[in-house]
Chain A
Amino acid sequence: MDMKIAKKLGLKERYALMTRDLAWDTTYQKMEDVFPQTSYEGIKIHDWDKWEDPFRLTMDAYWKYQSEKERKLYAILDGFNQNNGHLSVTDARYINVLKLFLGSTPPLELMAARGFSMMGRQMNGAGPRVACQMQAVDEYRHFQTQIHSISNYNKYYNGMDEFAHQQSRMWYLSDGKSFFDDAITAGPFEFMVAIGFAFEYVLTNILFVPFISGAAYNGDMAAMTVGFSAQSDEARHMTLGLECIKFMLEQDPDNLPIVQRWIDKWTWRGTRKLASVGMMMDYMLPKRIMSFKEAWEMYVEENGGSLFKDLARYGITIPKCFGQTIEEKEHVTHQSWIGFYMKPEATPFHTWIPSPDEMDWLSEKYPNTFDQYYRPVLEYLDQQEKAGNRYNNKTQPMNCQVCVSTMKFNEPGDPMEMCFRESTYKGEKFHTCSDHCKEIFDNEPEKYVQTFISSHQGLQGNCEPDGADVNAADFKPGQNMLDYWKLDKRALGDFNGSEDQANFAKWREQATKN
């Protein structure tokens, strides 16, 4: 019998046979026609084979691990739902975190799924293509498990039922939408820096901690399990983002200035996007984990700082905006929460004034800013509310042309002065919220003049529900905004006195007393 000793393959060698050895350079069609997107951004790649696979997972192993994780996850979700797990959260204010999360996060995970699918088609190296495809399918997992975990809350609480309709319409969701729209409309390499590196690597912890640890601290086993279950996926995504940066930098020295500009841009865009996440940590979680400032110091300044030290050997410098983010970490969450509180008729989640002990916690965590700048505002708003004169800002906000945040951040070095910047393009003026957003605009004005700003669009009659007649004599732009958003009146305004508050108290009583 013809016996042959099988060659023992190392993991790396075996993985290469299972992925890149499957590929070939096409000859019936030109490679540049098969992969038309990887040349126009100016990034030079000489040898795709130099790509180091950041993880080595064949599909059989992937299915084995992932199916085990899914089985456990859905068993826990079913149990949590069956046992009215929603009544075990610390207090009903917590549920507003889920409302904010459902509106902002699964739609962006979906964009990540579609974006990484595009990368998994367009990258002309077989190694990065497979890694991107795996991330794409993981992102399907993430938006779907997030929706499934919150679905049961939607049955009992207001403000979650129209998240799919609101994702492209709500004013405060357009910062996240513009972030992902910007990335997905950029070329593939910029997408990888934007999402793979800046978002997944530099900033992911700061998103993960408040939501997942927040869920754990506040008795939400459903959201907590989704988060913990996603962690090992995220670890893979982080290594992909980092490998992509290193790969570009190792391929050609000309890539450095391009990559640096993207790192600067996307770290800043991500930072702006995270202001509302920080607000969850400081204001919305009844049981707090740590302050946003502490999280920023730990995850961004320390971890991010050492990451950039590591990248210094390629010539990468710390993102330009770093200094400003360090200054802003003591301000942005307060400014954001106060901003949302002031718009009680325009969000599907409730707001409230922190209780006295919560204010003391904020004083302790923000010794340089809270008592001086924000406590007086909150106490004033509280007095006015109690006097029956609840603040209600009914005007349209002014938005940044780049990050689409409402203008509410302060001038660097001067917390009492609001920051505005202005650029002119083809005779028209455009406003931005900061030096960094202005720089992004000025680098690519032809892109950012397209930004969909709902306060402008609404005034032009472009944000109207089906059937509204914008040509009617008595038409007033914006009068139908609530219908355009499909915003349930029960979901608006103050937590105190809300249906959620009353139902939660009633149901908890029903579940725990005879």
Chain B
Amino acid sequence: MAIDLRTVAITPLRQTFGHLARRMGADKPASRYIEATMDLQPVENYHYRPTWEPQYEIFDTTRTKIAMKDWYALKDPRQYYYGAWTLARGKMQDIAEGDFDLVDEMGLAAAYPAAGKDEALKVFLPLRHVAWASNLNKAYVSSYGYGIAISQAACYASMDQLGVAQYVTRLGMAFNDIDALADAKTAWLEGAEWQEMRRYVEDLMVEKDWFEVLVAQDFALEGLLYPLIYERFNEKLNAAYSPVFSMLTRFQREWFGETTKWMDSVLKVAAAESPENKAQLAEWIKHWRERAIKAIKPVAVLAFGADADAIMDELVQNLNARAAKAGIAL
């Protein structure tokens, strides 16, 4: 039975801020996400042009070829404002911490078979640098993207990738101390398997269209890399050794599942805006997908040997299906 508790009821003069009432079409209470996001970035009356790029305003819609009537249409389906995001990540880190502690207490990493360790570290550990590049490229999107809807989601994703780089580093240290990190860095800088991947993320570091960076980094590259590593390779290691690798990569798996919803929604809304957007997104996806396949293939071979081609084909099919679902025909 609900008890009828009472508080002094005072009739408010209004339910929300003017810019939100106009946006929602009615004066009604707005969610905290809406309050924290909508129409907050300045759009007019800038005082000065950037000394670093005087061809643009401080915030400028022409920094990307994508055009939107309303940049706040690129909402985050997860409704992440800072508080919601940090609570979600706080929970995920709590679980991850428990996993790392358990592995440590039970000596599970030490007991992981040496062959498994070698295999895992070889394929997996250089990814700490990929995550670091992802952090940087997402920071670009959050810096120069238009509107708080996209800038905050990219900012949180950028910090997430710093977290991922650190979790990957911790796994490396758990498996083989800090020597493993140095070996992985050498592989990243010099190993033939990693050079196309490194070229890919470095090329993105000089790409100027922020939406293109988002598509190339988050959709094309991570859309292939995460399923390859955190699903397929993870399953392979689990079957061959023990679920320790799974435990120590849970954060990344959950992150990808969740962030994909945001990415797909952004693509879908942008594509639905105009035929021009749709064509531009298709062009970018096709271009960066081919490059991403080239970048990831050697890593897939490292992980799966002769099975790499078949697995990559499947992952590409899945990526194409995501694009199709977002309304983008490739």
For B143, list chain A residues within 8 Å (CB): 114, 117-118, 120-122
Q: Taking CB as reference atom, which chain A residue is nearest B130?
A: A22
Contacts of A62 on B, CB cut-off 8 Å? 159
Q: By the criterion CB–CB under 8 Å, are B14 and A161 in contact? A: yes
Inter-chain contact A141/B82, CB cutoff 8 Å:
yes
Q: Is the CB of A144 within 8 A of B47?
A: no
Known contacts A24-B129, A110-B40; A117 and B155 CB within 8 A of each other: yes
B17 is contacted by which of A144, A163, A454 (Cβ under 8 Å)?
A163
B50 within 8 Å of A by Cβ?
Answer: yes
Bound: A151/B30 CA distance, A: 10
- B102 to chain A: closest CB distance in Å? 15
Given contacts A29-B202, A64-B90, A168-B44, contact A161 B162 (CB under 8 A): no
Q: Is B111 interfacial (CB-CB < 8 Å)? A: yes
Question: For residue A83, which residues in chain B have a CB less than 8 angstroms away from its CB?
Answer: 7
Measured CA separation A448–B48 after assembly (Å):
8
If over half of A's interface residues share one DSSP class (helix, strand or loop), that class is named, otherwise mixed; here it is helix
Residues of B within 8 A of A486 (CB): 18
Smallest CB separation, A327 vs chain B (Å): 28
Given contacts A155-B15, A156-B10, whether A59 and B159 have CB atoms under 8 Å apart is: yes
Q: B87 to chain A: which residues have CB within 8 Å?
A: 67, 70-71
Residue interface bits B150-185, CB-to-A below 8 A is 1, else 0: 011001101110110111010001001110010001
For chain A, residues 157 to 204, give those with C-beta under 8 angstroms from any C-beta of chain B: 157-158, 160-165, 167-169, 174, 177-178, 181-182, 184-187
B8 at the A interface (CB under 8 A): yes
- Say how far A233's CB is from chain B's closest CB, in angstroms: 11
With a CB–CB cut-off of 8 A, which chain B residues contact A84?
A: 7-8, 10
CA distance A144 to B135 in the complex (A): 23
Residue pair A28, B198 in contact (C-beta under 8 Å)? yes
Please tell me if the beta carbons of B82 and A133 are within 8 angstroms of each other in the complex: no
Given A117-B142, A156-B12, A181-B58, CB of A67 within 8 Å of CB of B89: yes
Residues 70-103 of B, flagged 1 when their CB comes within 8 A of A and 0 if not, give 0000000000011100110111111011000000
| Contacting residues, chain A, for B94 (C-beta < 8 A) | 64
In the complex, the chain A residue whose C-beta lies closest to that of B39 is A164
Report the Cα distance A148→B34, complex, angstroms.
10
Considering the chains assembled together, what is the distance between the CA atoms of A367 and B13 in angstroms? 43
Q: For residue A241, give the distance in angstroms from its CB to the closest CB of chain B.
A: 19
Q: How far is the CA of A447 from the CA of B93 in the complex (A)?
A: 46
A64 to B47 Cα, complex, angstroms = 39
CB of A95 closer than 8 Å to a CB of B: no
Chain B, interface SS category: helix
Q: Are A168 and B129 in contact (CB under 8 A)?
A: no
A-B pairs with CB below 8 Å: how many? Answer: 251
Q: For the complex, give the distance between the alpha carbons of A29 and B18 in Å.
A: 47
Contact A28 B58 (CB under 8 A): no
Q: Which of A293-315 contact B (CB under 8 A)?
A: none
Q: Which residues of B contact A27 (CB under 8 A)?
A: 202
**Cβ of B91 and Cβ of A67 under 8 Å apart?**
yes
Would you call B169 and A17 a contact (CB within 8 A)? yes
**A18 with B169, Cβ < 8 A, contacts A147-B35, A181-B48, A182-B48 known:** yes
Nearest-CB residue, chain B, relative to A73: B83
The stretch from A32-40, A45-53, A429-437 touching chain B is A32-40
Report the separation of the CA atoms of residues A165 and B21 in the bound assembly, to the nearest whole angstrom. Answer: 12
B257 at interface by CB-CB < 8 Å: no
Kindly provide the distance from the CB of A59 to the nearest chain B CB, expressed in whole angstroms. 4
List residues of A whose CB falls within 8 A of some B CB.
Answer: 1-4, 6-7, 9, 17-19, 21-24, 26-29, 33-34, 36-37, 40, 58-60, 62-64, 66-68, 70-71, 73-74, 82-84, 106-107, 110-111, 113-114, 117-118, 120-122, 129-130, 133-134, 136-137, 140-141, 143-145, 147-148, 151, 154-158, 160-165, 167-169, 174, 177-178, 181-182, 184-187, 404, 447-448, 450-452, 454, 457, 486, 503, 507, 510-511
Additional 9 contacts, C-beta under 8 A, given A66-B86, A137-B156, A184-B58? A1-B111, A111-B42, A137-B82, A144-B81, A155-B12, A162-B19, A182-B48, A452-B47, A510-B8
Name 12 interchain pairs, CB-CB below 8 A, sorted by A.
A18-B169, A22-B131, A28-B202, A60-B96, A63-B93, A63-B163, A137-B155, A144-B32, A148-B83, A162-B19, A450-B48, A451-B47
7 A-B pairs with least C-beta separation? A67-B90, A59-B163, A155-B12, A22-B132, A144-B36, A181-B47, A28-B202
Give residues in B with beta carbon < 8 Å to A: 7-8, 10, 12-19, 32, 35-36, 39-52, 58-59, 81-83, 86-87, 89-94, 96-97, 110-111, 114, 128-129, 131-132, 135-136, 139-140, 142-144, 148, 151-152, 155-156, 158-160, 162-163, 165-167, 169, 173, 176-178, 181, 185, 188-189, 198-199, 202-203, 205-206
